Amino acid sequence: MGALPTSALASVEPGTRVLIGGAVTHRQRPATAGGVTFLNIEDETGMVNVVCSPGLWARYRRVARSSGAMLVRGVVESAEGVVSLMADRLQHLDLRIPSRSRDFR
């Protein structure tokens, strides 16, 4: 499918659209005052913070709230050495081993 490992994101030019996949380890709820919600996606190479806009969260609400793992397409952002992904699509990904995220409420 062309998904990159999270460890490769540090060498990707900011502004590039990529696909990643992995287990959801954290979901931040409630959203920020501006409606932004954060997810952490982890694969075998590391973890990346995924930024979800209010519109994206509304569009992919079921996947965003219930999937133990997902494919995330988005644009790479980098600030002060910290790499994150501004999501523009979320897709459920089946895990062979059941997993639950630690969601902040």
Span 48-86, pLDDT tens digits:
999 999 999 999 999 999 899 999 999 999 998 899 999
Predicted local distance difference test score (pLDDT) of residue 102 = 53
Q: How many domains does the chain have?
A: 1
In a domain, 9, yes or no: no
**Could you count the other beta carbons within 10 Å of the beta carbon of residue 19?**
15
Looking at residue 78, which CATH number applies to its domain? Answer: 2.40.50.140
Q: Is the pLDDT of residue 34 over 60?
A: yes
Looking at the chain, the whole-number percentage of residues with pLDDT higher than 70 is: 90
pTM: predicted TM-score of the whole model, two decimal places: 0.87
Is the pLDDT at 100 greater than 70, yes or no? no
Residue 72 lies in a domain: yes
Task: Look at residue 1 and tell me if it is in a domain.
Answer: no
- Angstrom distance (rounded) from CA 81 to CA 74: 18
Structural domain including 68 reads 16-95
* Residues in Cβ contact with 49 at an 8 Å cutoff, skipping those fewer than 6 apart: 38, 39, 40, 82, 84, 85
Confidence of residue 31 (pLDDT cuts 50, 70, 90): confident
Domain presence at residue 42: yes
